Amino acid sequence: MKIHHFLSLFSTYFLVDGVNIEDRAGQFFSSGHTNNWAVLVCTSRFWFNYRHVANTLSVYRSVKRLGIPDSHIVLMLADDMACNHRNPKPATVFSHKNMELNVYGDDVEVDYRGYEVTVENFLRILTGRLPPSTPRSKRLLSDDRSNILIYLTGHGGNGFLKFQDSEEISNVELADAFEQMWQKRRYNELLFIIDTCQGASMYERFYSPNLMALASSQVGEDSLSHQPDLAIGVHLMDRYTFYLLEFLEDIHPASKTNMNDLFKVCPKSQCVSTPGHRTDLFLRDPGSVLITDFFGSVRKVELTMETINLTDPIEQLESAESGELQKEMHTYADQLPVSEIIHQKPKQKDWHPPDGFILGLWTLILLVFFQTYGVKHLKHIF
Amino acid sequence: MAAPLTLLLLVAVTVRAALFRSSLSELISERVEVVSPLTAWKRVIEGLALLDLGVSPYSGDVFHETPLTIYLFHFLVDYAEVTFMVSVAGSSVFSDYLFRKQKFALEADRYPLDCLELIRSPKEMYYIPLKVAMFYLLNPFTILSCVAKSTCGLNNAIIALFILSTIKGNVLLSAIFLSLATYQSIYPLTLSALLTSVPLSCLINLCVTQWICVFLFWWFIVQYAFMYLGSLFVIICLSFFLLGSWDYLPSVYGFILSVPDLTPNIGLFWYFFAEMFEHFRLFFLCVFQINVFFYTIPLSIKLKEHPVFLIFMQLAVISIFKSYPTVGDISLYMAFLPVWSHLHRFLRNIFLVSCVLLACSALFPVLWHLWIYAGSANSNFYYAITLLFNVAQILLVSDYFYAFLRREHHLTYGLYLKRKDGSEATLVLK
């Protein structure tokens, strides 16, 4: 691991000489995010849904290993499997058969547990509308330079995800919550991974920019579980997350693996269902997005012996193919049109009945009047 | 006669003005017994605001007034209180004028001698117009609906104008006001049954032979129908030109006929339709709506010589069985009651009816509070009071009908009935 680090640093150093220091500085500053957050949610309870808790804990483990601290992870587990009285190995949650990998160490911090995992709490975390008494560990304190990873697992269907066997969140609600996050500038880029049956339906309705989504199965397909363990008696993991975990185990903080490799995780031969992904709302090319942009909290460090003059604004480094692709500039909506409010004039009544109507009506009224009371009044008018 | 009327008007205006300025006006304008989705002032303001924003006021099931009302209130929205007071005062003045001018053909020699006590003396009749005006202006129901600025007051004014012009014999004006009243809410259509009874009394002099009589009668009906339908058509087309679209037709008439809004009110529709299965909804809607129109033909056949009583009965039937009744509709037909004060000796249930009406009016706000705010009652309680209120009204109306018919019978056959052998007989209603 360390040699790999050293070698990669070394290679970067040699690459440096060929490239201008200003371009490199531009590349350094062109990365959009400065901090990483993760919201990992398991929505099912009961012992036979052991695998959903194991899924979530596996992703938690990877994310923590790649550098995101507990203060930046919101972990929501709907049930306690480690201390469940049906667990033959208490205080453990295994993700591999034969108990090879215990994902429930003694450094797991669960923020929302048991019945606190509800649709309302989940949406409140995302939008930030929590009561003032909520502690920091239960809040998603992201800003407009945060990259957020959201992982959901549980039982789902076409357009919904079931929480706690009693309520559900719909894809429309989720899309609207993300739009609220965008308008409140709560994320820079967001990666949404869902491992449920018919998971692709959950990202169909997204409409906010900078969202990338992955799902374990398409609409009409079920996501299947991986292995039952005969000692514990339940299925330990779902297939998609199992292969995702295998993939992530090979990632380290300095790796340059990008999203296109993530899309290839768990092909149909292994997963039985067809994983899907959605990148049309994402501004950058997925090939240029590193896995560690979302799964890890990587601080970019470049060692250089030269001084760089930072007085001129650093221009964005253009990639070779940007000639054909027109990048649409996304800007935040003007949330408070102050100039209009300051100079607001009192509201005028804008609607007036059409002239033809008034003319017709009063002609009729006059006609009826003269009909009933005789024409002799006419000479008084004219 | 002018002085007491002016005094009455002054008193009524003072009461209303005092209530307008007090804090009760907001409270009253939200009461469901006083305002309905059709007549609420809040909805008128909402519709006008939507219009100012450039949106059709009929979008969104808020506004159910006719376009002519939009036109009227567009200019009068700041003077709303005055408008309503004027319309209420106007209705009472019209009815006052009406009853003063009404000629009761008293041919004393037509009736048996012992019926003299049944016939009203001119002295009694002198005060009837004032009493009618008083009943309308000082009725708590009218005051409530005026303070709530419900557009029921305008509807009542139009109906009063219609009655005035019918009794005065002005065919064109009566057709026009009837079409205006029908345009506002569909139910005054039943008042067109009047035209079977009025021409008979008017044309009785012109009948030389029977065929000419029949011909004149039908010619009159055709004329009237033509004027009525023509003016209705003209008004509907004019309303199209106000907003440039036909959306008001489903919003106003579709709303009245299909009753989509089931806010509780003092009528009979809301409770039934709240608990009905969709499959049967159309059927029951037809049943309920036909119920309003059903009594027209029998009543007009029976009462073809008594147009004023026919109007009273029709108005009562409309205001009990219409889809969104309010207390303003009730106050209109109750204003007619002094006209038949001479029937008091034949009324059988008047004590019971008045007690029930008073008790129900007092219980409406109580049970509403218990249902909505305290949560200790439910809709059944409120509907029970509604039912009872309507039953009392029906009883009142049928009682007056009975008394009227009985008086007619006595006028024909004598007050103290004797059997063939001379012993006293009693009259039994079968």
Burial level of B414, CB count in 10 A (0-12/13-18/19+)? middle
Q: Which residue of A has its CA nearest to B50?
A: A351
Above 80 in pLDDT, residue B44? yes
Residue A11: per-residue pLDDT: 46
Residue B123: per-residue pLDDT: 66
Considering only residues A162 and B220, tell me which one the structure prediction assigns the higher pLDDT.
A162
Q: B238, A361: Cβ pair inside 8 Å?
A: yes
B213-B216-B217-B220 Cα dihedral, nearest 10 degrees: -160
Chain A contacts of B176, Cβ < 8 Å?
368
Above 80 in pLDDT, residue B102? no
* A371 reaches B (C-beta below 8 A): yes
The DSSP annotation for A78-95 comes to: SS-STT-TT-SSTT--B-
Above 60 in pLDDT, residue A17? no
Q: How far is A382 from chain B (nearest CA, A)?
A: 24
Give the active site residue among A42, A197, A266, A271. A197
Instruction: Provide the pLDDT confidence category of residue A347 given band limits of 50, 70 and 90.
Output: low
Residue A212: per-residue pLDDT: 93
Residue B347 neighbours by CB distance under 10 Å: 17
Considering only residues B240 and B113, tell me which one the structure prediction assigns the higher pLDDT.
B240
Q: B176, A368: Cβ pair inside 8 Å?
A: yes
- Among the partner-chain residues A360, A364, A372, the one whose CB lies closest to the CB of B170 is A372
The CB-side HSE value for B351 (13 A sphere, CA atoms) comes to 2
* A362 reaches B (C-beta below 8 A): no
Q: How far is A364 from chain B (nearest CA, A)?
A: 9
Question: Going by C-beta distance under 8 Å and a sequence separation of 6 or more, which residues neighbour residue B149?
Answer: B29, B41, B80, B81, B84
Q: B173, A351: Cβ pair inside 8 Å?
A: no
Q: How far is A339 from chain B (nearest CA, A)?
A: 21
Please say if A42 is a catalytic residue: no
* Residue B392, token pair as written in the block: 């009392």
Show me where the domains of chain B are located.
1-335
Helix (H, G, I), strand (E, B) or coil at B371: helix
Q: Which CATH class is domain A33-295?
A: alpha beta
Residue B302: per-residue pLDDT: 86
CA distances (Å), origin B324, targets B145, B329, B331, B379 = 14, 10, 15, 17
Q: What percent of chain B clears pLDDT 70, i.e. is strictly above it?
A: 86
- Least Cα distance to B385 among B353, B357, B360 occurs for B360
Above 60 in pLDDT, residue A314? no
Q: What is the mean pLDDT of chain B?
A: 83
Q: B52, A353: Cβ pair inside 8 Å?
A: no
Average pLDDT for residues A159-175, to the nearest whole number?
A: 92
Above 50 in pLDDT, residue B58? yes
Q: B71, A361: Cβ pair inside 8 Å?
A: yes
Residue B157: per-residue pLDDT: 87
Q: Which residue of A has its CA nearest to B71?
A: A353
Helix (H, G, I), strand (E, B) or coil at B421: coil
Handedness of CA A248, A253, A257, A258 (dihedral sign): positive
Q: Which residues of B396-409 are buried (b: 16+ CB within 10 A; e: fewer)?
A: bbebbbbbbbbbee
| Angle CA A306–A310–A313, to nearest 5 | 140
Residue B233: per-residue pLDDT: 92
Considering only residues A188 and B424, tell me which one the structure prediction assigns the higher pLDDT.
A188
Interface residues of chain B, partner chain A, Cβ below 8 Å:
51-52, 54, 68, 70-71, 74, 170, 172-173, 176, 234, 238, 241-242, 244
Q: How far is B239 from chain A (nearest CA, A)?
A: 8
Above 90 in pLDDT, residue B382? yes
Q: Which residue of A has its CA nearest to B68?
A: A361
Please give the Cα distance from B341 to B344 (Å, whole number). Answer: 6
Question: Going by C-beta distance under 8 Å and a sequence separation of 6 or more, which residues neighbour residue A122?
Answer: A41, A76, A163, A169
What are φ and ψ of residue A195, in 5° steps? -120, 85
Strands A160-163 and A167-170: antiparallel
Q: Give the helix/strand (H/E) hosting A27.
A: helix A21-30
Summarize pLDDT for A349-379 with one digit per residue, the tens: 667 778 888 888 888 888 888 887 776 655 5
| Beta bridge pairs of residue A170 | A160
Please give the Cα distance from B194 to B304 (Å, whole number). Answer: 8
Chain A contacts of B223, Cβ < 8 Å?
none
- Among the partner-chain residues A349, A357, A360, the one whose CB lies closest to the CB of B52 is A349
Residue A317: per-residue pLDDT: 47
> Testing the interface with B: which of A355, A359, A371, A372 to mutate, by most B Cβ within 10 A?
A372
* A372 reaches B (C-beta below 8 A): yes
Which of A22-26, B216-220, B249-253 has the least mean pLDDT?
A: A22-26
Instruction: Provide the pLDDT confidence category of residue B105 given band limits of 50, 70 and 90.
Output: very low
Residue B124: per-residue pLDDT: 66
Please give the Cα distance from B47 to B70 (Å, whole number). Answer: 8
Question: Going by C-beta distance under 8 Å and a sequence separation of 6 or more, which residues neighbour residue B188?
Answer: B159, B162, B178, B181, B182, B318
Chain A contacts of B68, Cβ < 8 Å?
361
* Residue A223, token pair as written in the block: 């996501």
Residue A339: per-residue pLDDT: 64
Place of tokens 């990666």: A191
Above 60 in pLDDT, residue A9? no
Summarize pLDDT for A28-71 with one digit per residue, the tens: 665 678 889 999 999 999 999 999 999 999 999 999 989 899 99
- Span between the terminal Cα atoms of chain B, in Å: 43
Q: How far is B238 from chain A (nearest CA, A)?
A: 6
Residue B108: per-residue pLDDT: 42
Which of A19-28, A224-233, B297-306 has the least mean pLDDT?
A: A19-28
Above 50 in pLDDT, residue A324? no
Q: B244, A371: Cβ pair inside 8 Å?
A: no
- Span between the terminal Cα atoms of chain A, in Å: 106
Please say if A96 is a catalytic residue: no
Above 70 in pLDDT, residue A183? yes
Average pLDDT for residues A225-247, to the nearest whole number?
A: 87
Q: What percent of chain B clears pLDDT 90, i.e. is strictly above it?
A: 23
Summarize pLDDT for A88-107 with one digit per residue, the tens: 988 889 887 666 788 888 88
Residue A351: per-residue pLDDT: 74
Chain A / chain B CB contacts < 8 angstroms: 35
Which of A59-73, B188-202, B248-262, B328-342 has the least mean pLDDT?
A: B188-202
- Among the partner-chain residues B52, B172, B241, the one whose CB lies closest to the CB of A357 is B241
- Asked whether the beta carbons of B129 and B95 are under 8 A apart, the reply is yes
Show me where the domains of chain A are located.
33-295
Q: What is the mean pLDDT of chain A?
A: 82
Above 90 in pLDDT, residue B358? yes
